[in-house]
Structure 1
Amino acid sequence: MIKKIPKENMGTSNLGWLESRFHFSFAQYFNPSNINFGVLRVLNDDIIHPHSGFDTHPHDNMEIISYVIKGSITHKDSMGNEETLSRGEVQYLSAGDGIFHSEHNFQNEDLRLLQIWIIPPKRNLKKIYGSYRYKKEERINKLLNIVSSKKQNSKVTIHQDINIFVSELDQNKTLNYKIEENRQIYFVQIEGSCKINEIILEEGDALEITNDNNLLITSLNNSHFLFIEMKEE
């Protein structure tokens, strides 16, 4: 089954320095029937305006992935990590029993990123921070596995059993993805538009995909998307 979630049905927020689209209940947006999708707890499409950001704040027992779409993000945390990442690059944090961090846009242009929170398989697991600077050519007209579990082969690995794929497809290009039994997918159209098994997605739209075994992805124009593959609920 494929369920389309139009961007118009999602929660939104505008704090002046931060504009957000919430795929699931978060901050002031609360919908009791839209808390999570499997182990995916948060997916926020954030625009952080120049010279602003999230000051130091705590997290615990969550695995947090940031995928940069535009601009640059500067991360700093209580484990001593500090770095700046740009388009197509990935930052990840397994917060374990507690960590403090900040995220800022120190540049003169807007920063847009997807902030993804994954529920870990157990509480108080080992804290992890890392990043990877994927190249554009790795995702052009093919699927790039940017995050996986530690049992798999991505350059970024977390504790939970998931896979995150991204791609940038040129117009009229097609990709197939086979969904294994007892797995499900949350699909996000980041930029452009595409057709998934006859369902058209525009920028910002999403899909919940369950009890299906194949995705046929066709770009209607230059199309940038991400999907998270996980165990069925």
Structure 2
Amino acid sequence: MLEKIEKDKMFVSNQGWLRSRFHFSFAEYRDYDNMKFGVLRVLNDDIVHPQSGFPMHPHRDMEIISYIVEGEMTHKDSMGNEKTLHRGDVQYMSAGEGIYHSEYNNHKTDDLRLLQIWILPPRKGLSKIYDDASFGYEERKNRLLHIVSDEEGDAKVKIHQNVNIYVCELDAGRNILHSIKENRQLYFVQIEGTADVNGLHPQGTLHVDSGDAIKITQESRLHISALSDAHFLFIEMKAH
């Protein structure tokens, strides 16, 4: 089953320095019928304007992943970590029993765009962890790049929860196929460009544009055809 979520139907928050599109109920957006998808609790498509950002603030009992789409993001936290990340880079923070952090766009002229992803941990009180990884364009060009896995997986960034995150930048006219294991589900985000998803499926092909998403359940494969240069990410997890 494929359920498309159009970006124009998502809640958008504009605080001046920050523009966010919320995939799920979060902050000032309240929708008790749209709280999560499996263990995926938050997915925000954020644009942070130059020389602004999120000041130091607390989190606990959440696994937080940032995927940088454009620009640069500078992270600082109460564990002493400080890092500036760029397009294609990934940052992970397990808030555990409690952590403070800030995220800033210190660039003078360019916006920062990132996907902010919150995953529910398998249990409360897990150890605090900070990690990040840089990936080159060639690593995700016309191939699926495994950027996040659980502790037994093979991705560079490992989290406590049993999820996998993949990204790809697929040239126009190219196709890619991913097999979905039994009792697993996917949340697919079209970051840039346009694509058709699951062509030749009995349910029919879904066309997605930049910002759209798809909830994918009870399927055995994911087939993406790029109609233009397409940049996408998907989160694979246990079916709920």
Letter in 2 for 1:124: G
1:138 alignment partner, SS class = helix
Matched, 1:206 2:202: no
Letter in 2 for 1:220: L
Cα offset, 1:216, TM superposition: 1.0
Letter in 1 for 2:113: R
1:8 alignment partner, SS class = helix
RMSD: 0.4
TM-score (normalised: structure 2): 0.97
Letter in 2 for 1:100: Y
Aligned to 1:69: 69
1:28 alignment partner, SS class = coil
Question: How far apart, in 1, do the equivalents of 2:73 and 2:194 lie?
Answer: 26
Show the 5 A alignment for 1:215-226: 215-226=222-233
State the identity %. Answer: 58
> Structure 1, residues 159-198: CA drift from partner, whole Å, max 9, x if none?
0000000000000100001100000000000000000011
Question: How far apart, in 2, do the equivalents of 1:106 and 1:30 lie?
Answer: 31
1:181 alignment partner, SS class = coil
Aligned to 1:122: 123
Aligned to 1:53: 53
Matched, 1:187 2:188: yes
Question: How far apart, in 2, do the equivalents of 1:216 and 1:63 lie?
Answer: 28
Aligned to 2:148: 147
Aligned to 2:201: none
Question: How far apart, in 1, do the equivalents of 2:67 and 2:183 lie?
Answer: 26
Cα offset, 1:30, TM superposition: 1.0
Question: How far apart, in 2, do the equivalents of 1:97 and 1:11 lie?
Answer: 30
Question: How far apart, in 2, do the equivalents of 1:122 and 1:31 lie?
Answer: 25
Aligned to 2:175: 174
Question: How far apart, in 2, do the equivalents of 1:141 and 1:10 lie?
Answer: 29
Matched, 1:85 2:102: no
Question: How far apart, in 1, do the equivalents of 2:34 and 2:63 lie?
Answer: 19
Cα offset, 1:215, TM superposition: 1.1
TM-score (normalised: structure 1): 0.99
Letter in 2 for 1:193: T
Aligned to 2:134: 133
Aligned to 1:96: 96
Cα offset, 1:8, TM superposition: 1.2
Letter in 1 for 2:118: W
Question: How far apart, in 2, do the equivalents of 1:31 and 1:12 lie?
Answer: 13
Letter in 2 for 1:135: G
Letter in 2 for 1:154: A
Letter in 2 for 1:9: K
Letter in 2 for 1:161: N
Structure 1 stretches (4+) deviating beyond 2 angstroms? none
2:54 alignment partner, SS class = strand
2:34 alignment partner, SS class = coil
Q: Which runs of 5+ in 2 are unaligned?
A: 199-204
> Structure 1, residues 26-65: CA drift from partner, whole Å, max 9, x if none?
1111111100000000000000000000000000000000
Question: How far apart, in 1, do the equivalents of 2:15 and 2:85 lie?
Answer: 23
Q: Which runs of 5+ in 1 are unaligned?
A: none
> Structure 1, residues 39-92: CA drift from partner, whole Å, max 9, x if none?
000000000000000000000000000000000000000000001000000000
Aligned pair count?
A: 233
Matched, 1:105 2:105: yes
Letter in 1 for 2:220: N
